[in-house]
Structure 1
């Protein structure tokens, strides 16, 4: 049995990408030279156990630099004492152009348009071997002497993991953030980062470092894309029609109020715009939102249940004779012609006191409410007794 006195691997003859190479011989002698090239590491294996690891450089094998092997087989000292072991050369360069893609489409319901899509995703990723002992032990196994493993072993093993996680991440991401497929391109970078964090842990379990992970495209069949675009155009048309409808409807209401300021006219106008809101609800969310903007935040009661003025903040005079309403500031009732009394009669001289005045301009008597001397409640100036406690004022 000839002993090997020089251990080295310069890579494949034609420069093909390689990942792990098992040296063909297993019988070595103390004093042999181990030459490890740049971007390589050499790992000694014995009995299925990963032992001593050497980085780039030239080494003379001896018990001093083979501590784990020495401990396992109790190497004797001196000379060219033979020993047997397996030597694996590991390529430490980064490989950044590995491809991935979902093998089969996966169903996702578009959150905005409710269409069930058949989604596929594609991209690339980069790796390097971070822990040679773990990688060779868990992924290479008992390789034959002189055999070489390429990066295909990583692509084949992690293909299933990548497919499973990508389907889960893309589906959840679209649904959680309510992103339509038509918008997904905008979120490709963020999706790639989420996938990197989710997948990296699985790579680390096998001594592989995931350097990057990119989603290059997320696509669906052409007919699904056409269907989504049609729905988007129809929704845009409805929004435009809804906005125009409510603009016209609001003008109609205002015209009716101007033509007939009485309660009956306002109630009919309110009924009209109420019908408009029902039609808008059927047209979509944009109709409802626009309708909400048109409705007053504080409707004015009109004396009939279910109806309110659509003119927010419009003040009106009510006729004491017929009960009908006229615009604020009117001198006569628009329904019966009764003259409005502009002001509050003074309790002393009956002179009309303008709104907001605290004293009568004719006799100087205080007008409005005053404080009860007994309980502190407000008492009209004309009252002789407190309506709360009965105290004479």
Structure 2
């Protein structure tokens, strides 16, 4: 093999694409000229060890500037002494447009809507070789190339690392920050910094500076985004309409019951109302409020539809009776034609609706839950505590 006395990078012309170039020959002599271009470094390598490193410029090889190699191979001093070694040129130019992307979707539970989503993430990053010795030692033999390695080789080498870290960091960030996937675009800058911090140390182990790591998009299949949009629309509708929506619906149901000739009587309307109570928690509450106000009572044969103005109200069942009745026509309870005001205890005529002394309302207020008879000014049932 010919002895090389002029060593120069003879790799591809597109300097931005390559990272490592192995010089074709490994036989050299002292006194040879080593030419290293700008944004390059030349590293002597022998026996699996990274030896002497040269920066940009023209260098005459002597035992003075090859001290590590001289000790390893015992190069004699002076003359054009031949020696063997491998020379690797390393490109130290920064490249900022390396693309990355998760190879398969990963599962994340949206913290706001509790929907499991299949998520993918994409972006780009930049790298610069900061330690040629460490980079050559770690990468040579790992990349599948005899003489040249480019950014694609390194990108493939680190692809699994990036995928694993991105899935872990993105999932953790979304869950702990309680960010909906519909809002994730707003946080891409902050999320990019978190991912950069999680990955850069691994690149540093190989003599590579990782910078400008960006997440350009976090997306998911259309069927998943449709689920989230539907949930968001439902939530917005309920927020805007609120309780008025349910009250309006309850009035609509009552109106339909009143229009329905098959309902027949107020008692049937009460049955329909009872069925409405089981329709749902919120709607049921609205119906319950209306039921209390209606105070629907069964028909009694002893009372005319045109009630006397001084009718007697039964303290037991609230049935209205004729003013001269001695017993309730509904439950048979005997009437006491005298009564006392609940507030001031003034003697009143039976059936009085208000006290002539203090003006407080008289009669009873039946509990809508347990049916207990309460004083008209009670706010809560004496028996079960339900709000009257």
Structure-2 separation of matches of 1:243 and 1:68: 83
Structure-1 separation of matches of 2:145 and 2:215: 38
> How far off is 1:244 after superposition?
2.9
Structure-2 separation of matches of 1:154 and 1:234: 48
1:104 match? 104
The alignment partner of 1:103 has SS state of: coil
The alignment partner of 1:63 has SS state of: coil
Structure-1 separation of matches of 2:182 and 2:284: 25
Q: Does 1:91 align with 2:91?
A: yes
Structure 1 gap segments, 5+ residues each: 249-274, 284-317, 323-333, 341-393
5 Å matches for 1:61-100?
A: 61-100=61-100
> How far off is 1:247 after superposition?
9.3
Q: Does 1:321 align with 2:345?
A: yes
Contact in 1 for aligned 2:18/2:151 (Cα 8 Å): yes
> How far off is 1:279 after superposition?
3.9
> How far off is 1:181 after superposition?
1.0
Distance 1:219 1:145, change over 3 A: closer
Contact in 1 for aligned 2:97/2:124 (Cα 8 Å): yes
Contact in 2 for aligned 1:25/1:145 (Cα 8 Å): no
1:171 match? 171
Instruction: Say what the alpha-carbon RMSD is for the aligned residues.
Output: 3.1
> How far off is 1:24 after superposition?
0.8
Distance 1:40 1:235, change over 3 A: same
> How far off is 1:111 after superposition?
1.1
> How far off is 1:146 after superposition?
7.0
Contact in 2 for aligned 1:125/1:213 (Cα 8 Å): yes
Q: C-alpha offsets along residues 279-320 of structure 1, whole Å, 9 cap, x if unaligned?
A: 44999xxxxxxxxxxxxxxxxxxxxxxxxxxxxxxxxxx944
Q: Does 1:338 align with 2:357?
A: yes
Moved more, 239-248 or 53-62: 239-248
Structure-2 separation of matches of 1:204 and 1:73: 31
> How far off is 1:321 after superposition?
3.1
Structure-2 separation of matches of 1:282 and 1:166: 48
Structure 2 gap segments, 5+ residues each: 249-276, 286-341, 347-352, 360-388
1:229 match? 229
1:41 match? 41
Contact in 2 for aligned 1:23/1:145 (Cα 8 Å): no
1:57 match? 57
TM-score, normalization by structure 1: 0.63
5 Å matches for 1:1-393?
A: 1-13=1-13, 17-141=17-141, 147-244=147-244, 279-280=281-282, 319-321=343-345, 335-338=354-357
The alignment partner of 1:154 has SS state of: helix
> How far off is 1:231 after superposition?
1.1
Structure-1 separation of matches of 2:142 and 2:50: 12
Structure-1 separation of matches of 2:80 and 2:40: 26
> How far off is 1:238 after superposition?
1.3
Contact in 2 for aligned 1:23/1:146 (Cα 8 Å): no
The alignment partner of 2:121 has SS state of: strand
Structure-1 separation of matches of 2:4 and 2:284: 86
Structure 1 residue runs of 4 or more that deviate by more than 6 Å after TM superposition: 142-146
Structure-2 separation of matches of 1:16 and 1:125: 15
> How far off is 1:2 after superposition?
2.8
> How far off is 1:216 after superposition?
0.5
Structure-1 separation of matches of 2:243 and 2:157: 56
2:291 match? none
> How far off is 1:14 after superposition?
5.7
> How far off is 1:27 after superposition?
1.0
Q: C-alpha offsets along residues 216-243 of structure 1, whole Å, 9 cap, x if unaligned?
A: 0111111111111111101111122225
> How far off is 1:140 after superposition?
1.5
Contact in 2 for aligned 1:10/1:37 (Cα 8 Å): no
Q: C-alpha offsets along residues 85-106 of structure 1, whole Å, 9 cap, x if unaligned?
A: 1100000000111100110011
Distance 1:139 1:184, change over 3 A: same
Distance 1:69 1:336, change over 3 A: same
> How far off is 1:113 after superposition?
1.2
The alignment partner of 2:134 has SS state of: helix
Distance 1:281 1:177, change over 3 A: farther
> How far off is 1:143 after superposition?
8.4
Structure-2 separation of matches of 1:172 and 1:146: 41
2:325 match? none
